[in-house]
């Protein structure tokens, strides 16, 4: 097939975008998923032409964007790393720069970096059933608008809005004389040495930031409305380090990866089956780490059950250590108003600060904010049902990479990439050029895509697609089950409708 260099004039939509360059596959996003998707595509379908369109001027996505102190993974790198490329560092819970390096090295080792077009933000994608082609409109450098086309559109654009994080907005924010910072836009030169810091929030970002800033700040307060389950884990994987150098790296990596997958699945399933026992165990560990006098009931005992929201992991109990050393403290209360000096809380307590960090989360955004239309009709993703959590009812030739909520993202994005390649090979083998999931079975009930009570998921209810009550519309959130289904179940499952659209000759 090869990369088409043909440039065709096309003004059919009356836009100033003029040129169409055609690819078999267009990947949107050069983050962990996009680089992984390109690796699989090159390896398993080497005859396919492809390009990666990346809206920013760098690869790495999340791991390039977030620059706050201590930024790190909150799941282990043996499962957050790609299946095809062993994670070799000693640290299993890795810092952001190491993850970024791993992504960049994967791209350069495999020549994927040459396929990335930076500063190419996809704004629109329109599918034409007559041509069996997607046309995408891209905001390119120097204010240009480009048109590209492809047979298959592969969205690896993550799940949140890159332009800004979620900010609830409190009364009096303008009065505060110090600095207000959001972790998504961390000022490079922010000096917090010997400063009083308040971090608002109790999620993964807060529990990372608090001990990292507490190393040099005068004191850091983690202000939370309600507690989160926090579990301390060693930052190094004992078994992985034991095996290092003794058996081939690939075998060691596979073994440790499966060990961690199974431990994760066990903890999740046990949380769902015996929530009270899990609760007691996690809270008990926190009490042990913080000492018998510490009010764990108030600050570390959530109102929900374990894994009703993502569990927060802390490497080597760093947060608990900062609290014990009195470099950090936790306040569980609500903000009444910002004041000139800090915050006034509902209880009447006042907290003074030089810097307030609003670790209040992300704004969920799917498909990179791109507008999608199928045969001129605009698609509302929340009206679709997700097929295997990666394609959408009635949207042809499009897949997206969306990781697990209860395990590492890459486990699912790797499987998705493998499945996309299977699908493309199957289509080639049978002369198909369209594939569209169709929900014909009326007995399949609609359910929320993600049954998490976390704020960012609740806020996104109206934009997320639905899942179905039965396979293949049901999300397993289980790597072992997905692996069987993605790798071995027949591609012709009666749900995907395949088609052969004759090629039209160019005008």
Ligand X SMILES: Cc1cc2nc3c(=O)[nH]c(=O)nc-3n(C[C@H](O)[C@H](O)[C@H](O)COP(=O)(O)OP(=O)(O)OC[C@H]3O[C@@H](n4cnc5c(N)ncnc54)[C@H](O)[C@@H]3O)c2cc1C
Question: Residues interacting with ligand X, by CB under 6 A?
Answer: 28-34, 53-56, 61-62, 66, 73-75, 80, 121-122, 156-158, 162, 205, 368-370, 401, 403, 408-409, 413
Residue 467, SS3 per DSSP? strand
Which distant-in-sequence residues (6+ apart) come within 8 Å of 183 by Cβ? 66, 68, 165, 205, 209, 357, 358, 359
Q: How far apart (Å, rounded) are the C-alpha atoms in residues 480 and 462?
A: 30
**Shortest distance (Å) from residue 377 CB to ligand X:** 20
The residue among 62 and 271 lying less far from ligand X, judged by its C-beta, is: 62
**Shortest distance (Å) from residue 505 CB to ligand X:** 31
The residue among 103 and 435 lying less far from ligand X, judged by its C-beta, is: 103
The residue among 209 and 351 lying less far from ligand X, judged by its C-beta, is: 209
The residue among 403 and 468 lying less far from ligand X, judged by its C-beta, is: 403
Of the CA atoms within 13 Å of residue 218, those in its CB half-sphere come to 9
The residue among 309 and 401 lying less far from ligand X, judged by its C-beta, is: 401
Q: How far apart (Å, rounded) are the C-alpha atoms in residues 205 and 67?
A: 11
**Shortest distance (Å) from residue 160 CB to ligand X:** 7
The residue among 121 and 422 lying less far from ligand X, judged by its C-beta, is: 121
Taking alpha carbons only, the member of 154, 158, 156, 114 closest to residue 26 is: 154
Angle at which helix 479-488 crosses helix 409-430, to 10 degrees, equals 10
Q: How far apart (Å, rounded) are the C-alpha atoms in residues 288 and 324?
A: 11
The residue among 62 and 384 lying less far from ligand X, judged by its C-beta, is: 62
Taking alpha carbons only, the member of 209, 354, 230, 203 closest to residue 286 is: 230
The residue among 160 and 473 lying less far from ligand X, judged by its C-beta, is: 160
Torsion of CA 343, 347, 349, 353, to 10 degrees: -20
**Shortest distance (Å) from residue 32 CB to ligand X:** 4
Q: How far apart (Å, rounded) are the C-alpha atoms in residues 107 and 85?
A: 11
**Shortest distance (Å) from residue 240 CB to ligand X:** 16
Burial of 23 (0-12, 13-18, 19+ CB in 10 A): buried
**Shortest distance (Å) from residue 114 CB to ligand X:** 17
**Shortest distance (Å) from residue 23 CB to ligand X:** 15
**Shortest distance (Å) from residue 79 CB to ligand X:** 8
Taking alpha carbons only, the member of 413, 384, 388 closest to residue 489 is: 388
């Amino acid at each position: 097939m090869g990369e088409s260099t043909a440039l065709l004039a096309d003004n059919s939509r009356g836009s100033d975008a003029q040129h169409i360059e055609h690819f078999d596959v267009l990947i949107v996003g050069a983050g962990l998923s996009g680089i992984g998707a390109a690796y699989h595509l090159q390896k398993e379908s080497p005859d396919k032409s492809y390009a990666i369109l990346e809206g920013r001027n760098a690869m790495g996505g999340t791991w390039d964007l977030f620059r706050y102190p201590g930024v790190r993974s909150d799941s282990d790198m043996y499962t957050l790393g790609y299946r095809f490329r062993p994670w070799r560092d000693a640290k299993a819970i890795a810092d952001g720069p190491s993850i970024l390096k791993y992504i960049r090295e994967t791209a350069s080792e495999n020549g994927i970096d040459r396929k990335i077009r930076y500063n190419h933000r996809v704004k629109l994608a329109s599918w034409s059933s007559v041509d069996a082609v997607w046309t995408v409109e891209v905001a390119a450098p120097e204010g240009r608008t480009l048109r590209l086309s492809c047979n298959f559109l592969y969205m690896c654009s993550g799940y949140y809005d890159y332009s800004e994080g979620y900010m609830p907005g409190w009364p009096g924010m303008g009065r505060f004389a110090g600095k207000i910072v959001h972790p998504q836009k961390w000022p490079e030169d922010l000096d917090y040495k010997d400063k009083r810091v308040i971090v608002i929030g109790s999620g993964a970002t807060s529990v990372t930031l608090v001990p990292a800033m507490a190393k040099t700040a005068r004191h850091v307060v983690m202000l939370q409305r309600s507690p989160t389950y926090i579990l301390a884990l060693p930052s190094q994987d004992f078994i992985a380090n034991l095996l290092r150098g003794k058996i081939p790296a690939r075998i060691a990596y596979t073994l440790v990866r499966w060990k961690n997958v199974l431990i994760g699945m066990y903890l999740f399933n046990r949380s769902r089956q015996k929530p009270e026992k899990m609760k007691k165990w996690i809270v008990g560990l926190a009490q042990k780490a913080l000492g018998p006098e510490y009010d764990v009931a108030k600050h570390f005992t959530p109102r929900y059950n374990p894994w009703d929201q993502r569990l927060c992991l802390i490497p080597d109990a760093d947060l608990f250590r900062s609290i014990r050393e009195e470099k950090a403290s936790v306040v569980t209360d609500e903000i009444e108003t910002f004041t000139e000096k800090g915050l006034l809380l509902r209880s009447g307590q006042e907290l003074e600060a030089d810097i307030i960090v609003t670790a209040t989360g992300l704004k969920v955004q799917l498909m990179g904010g791109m507008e999608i239309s199928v045969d001129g009709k605009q698609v509302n993703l929340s009206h679709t049902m997700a097929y295997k959590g990666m394609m959408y009812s009635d949207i042809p030739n499009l897949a997206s990479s969306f990781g697990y909520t209860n395990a590492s993202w890459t486990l699912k994005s790797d499987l998705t990439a493998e499945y996309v390649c299977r699908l493309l090979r199957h289509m080639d083998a049978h002369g198909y050029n369209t594939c569209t999931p169709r929900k014909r079975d009326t007995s399949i009930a609609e359910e929320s895509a993600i049954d998490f009570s976390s704020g960012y998921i609740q806020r996104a209810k109206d934009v997320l697609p639905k899942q179905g009550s039965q396979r293949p519309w049901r999300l397993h959130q289980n790597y072992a089950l997905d692996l069987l289904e993605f790798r071995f179940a027949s591609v012709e499952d009666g749900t995907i409708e395949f088609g052969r659209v004759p090629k039209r000759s160019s005008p």
